[in-house]
Amino acid sequence: MTSFFRSVREDIAAVFESDPAARSYFEVIFCYPGLHAVWAHHLSHWLWLHGMRFLARFISQVARFCTGIEIHPGAEIGRRLFIDHGMGVVIGETSIVGDDVTLYQGVTLGGTGKEKGKRHPTLGNNISIGSGAKLLGNITIGDNCRVGAGSVVLRSVPANSTIVGVPGHIVLRDGQRVVITDPKDIRDPLSDVIIKLAGEVHELREKFQEHSHEALGAEPDLAIDEEKPTTKILPQELFMDDYQI
């Protein structure tokens, strides 16, 4: 019981530390659904560990109905988890969340299929995940990481990194900018298609220039009227009218 009340005090202190809009203890206790969801999970997780699975799930569903936040009773939640606003947050059964983690609305810690065993993300300590971010699969997010809003993270991320994009890729690591010199490092199927298309366009352009030079070299010499000088039109100029803006 002592540890429960200590956890409650830590959760309230985490709200004051993370949210400048928090003004009083009464406001935090009664008006923060993220806090209510975490407290309900403390109870449902205890029931889950002691074999009362149905009751644990029932309590988690009641908390979901009241707060808009779904935390599976099997998820392991660390100390001082702060869920800001919280509506739409989903934390899967095998998720592991470290200490001092902040989740904003719409965050999903989900799976990628019907596989058994560990199938949800593992978060380290001191992590912030922006609104609408999706972390999917059995991946690990290292300590002190930041995930941008709307990102979709499908691969593990080393500590002290900032991840953005769909799919998520690292833009900062250990305070240093990470420059992606090869777009394939993003491993985005759409990027692969664009890269392939760009290569084909480059190849077609080279072939077109070769044929243009051959055509110009094969032209017979024509008599030039000095009074009416003629201008030679390159083959590629014949198509310019189709691209006038």
pLDDT band at 243 (very low <50, low <70, confident <90, very high): very low
Q: What distance in Å separates the CA atoms of residue 176 and residue 162, rounded to the nearest whole number?
A: 10
Q: What distance in Å separates the CA atoms of residue 221 and residue 101, rounded to the nearest whole number?
A: 78
**Of 118 and 240, the one with more pLDDT:** 118
Residue 245 has pLDDT above 70, yes or no: no
pTM for the structure as a whole = 0.70
- Ordered by where they begin, the domains of the chain are 2-179 (2.160.10.10), 189-243 (no CATH)
**What's the confidence (pLDDT) of residue 192?**
64
Query: pLDDT tens digits for 215-228?
Result: 776 555 545 455 55
Q: Are 59 and 40 in contact (CB under 8 A)?
A: yes
Q: What distance in Å separates the CA atoms of residue 60 and residue 178, rounded to the nearest whole number?
A: 40
Q: Are 98 and 124 in contact (CB under 8 A)?
A: yes
Residue 98 has pLDDT above 70, yes or no: yes
Query: pLDDT tens digits for 186-212?
Result: 555 555 677 788 888 988 888 888 888
Query: pLDDT tens digits for 122-168?
Result: 999 999 999 999 999 999 999 999 999 999 999 899 999 999 888 88
pLDDT band at 77 (very low <50, low <70, confident <90, very high): very high
